[in-house]
Amino acid sequence: MEVASKRNHASDIFAAVFSQKASVCENRVVILKAINEADTGELKFAELLRGVQSSGSPDYNSQRLTYDLQILKKNMLIDQTSEGKYTITKYGSYVLEVYSRIEHELSENELREKPGFVGGVTGVVASDEFDYQLLANELEKVSVFRRTPSIDENKARFEIRDMDADFVSEIEISEDGGFAAQVIIYESLSDIQESFIEDLEKTAEWHRMAEGFANVVYYYIRRSVSKLWKKANVMTVLGPDSYPINIYTGEKET
């Protein structure tokens, strides 16, 4: 009995979200996402109900939400404050990270053949006092960013707040001071019919936009670092820069 009481509950935790019914899984993931993306990291019952209903389940009711919250709480995926608001636990963040990674990869597969532009920057913060959690907390105050779950406890992950499927971003800050950001703007680019070189003027605007997003990330990292550590140095290894992807895949009109 002693062994059974201390057994690994990982299977129970995953089963609490990944139900055999896809609709149940989707609703519970929506609950976790809603709490995780809330500015305060906590939501009321009514806010969660509206969130699930507006996500594509208009018939979802308070009784079903009550049951789902009970299951998620029982399996340590969410918790509840003394005021009755719901928060996500580290286990909830881990499960959400796995789901988000799979979801992201599937969406990337669909987007991979679309033309687009990548903006990126990599670098390192040089400071004896550097603490990636302090930097992450400072970046969380910037409304441009949203913190995303990270299974790696030595890294903090963010994305730019944009719900458009054709906009993908990922920002990572490591315990050792390294940081990397990538922003991809996918576009049909139907007006680009010639080769990249011949349509340089048309593509220049997209280059500037992608590079601009990389510069925004770099700016906020530098600003946050300077607030926290006056003598810190922020050095870039690559960028901010941008480059095209799949630019040759569009068919020329005849």
Cα separation of the two ends of the chain: 75
183-213 pLDDT per residue, tens: 988 875 554 545 554 555 667 788 888 999 9
136-169 pLDDT per residue, tens: 999 999 999 988 887 788 899 999 988 777 888 9
Question: Looking at the chain, which runs of residues are DSSP E strands?
Answer: 42-43, 78-80, 86-88, 116-126, 145-148, 155-160, 167-174, 178-186, 233-245
Q: What residue ranges do the domains of the chain occupy?
A: 2-94, 112-245
- Name the pairing type of β-strands 78-80 and 178-186: unpaired
Residues facing residue 170 across a β-bridge: 182
Instruction: Note the pLDDT of residue 251.
Output: 43
Instruction: Note the pLDDT of residue 1.
Output: 34
5-63 pLDDT per residue, tens: 334 566 777 777 877 678 888 899 999 989 988 888 899 999 999 989 988 888 899 99
Angle of helix 22-37 versus helix 62-74 axis, rounded to 10: 80
Average pLDDT in the chain? 83
Residue 74 has pLDDT above 80, yes or no: yes
As given in the structure block, the two tokens for residue 205 are: 């605007």
Q: Could you give the CA distance from residue 190 to residue 249 in angstroms, rounded to a whole number?
A: 11
2-94 and 112-245: identical CATH topology: no
Handedness of CA 48, 53, 54, 55 (dihedral sign): positive
Q: Which among 221, 187, 223 is positioned nearest to 207, based on CA atoms?
A: 187
Instruction: Note the pLDDT of residue 5.
Output: 39
- Name the pairing type of β-strands 116-126 and 86-88: unpaired
- How much is the pTM? 0.63
Question: How many other C-beta atoms are found inside a 10 Å radius of the C-beta of residue 91?
Answer: 18
Indicate the class that CATH gives domain 112-245. Answer: alpha beta
- Name the pairing type of β-strands 86-88 and 42-43: antiparallel
Q: How many CA atoms lie within 13 A of 198 on its CB side?
A: 7
From residue 101, alpha-carbon distances to 71, 107, 140, 247 in Å are: 23, 10, 21, 26
Indicate the class that CATH gives domain 2-94. Answer: mainly alpha
- Token look-up 């925004």 returns 216
Is 146 within 8 Å of 201 (Cβ atoms)?
no
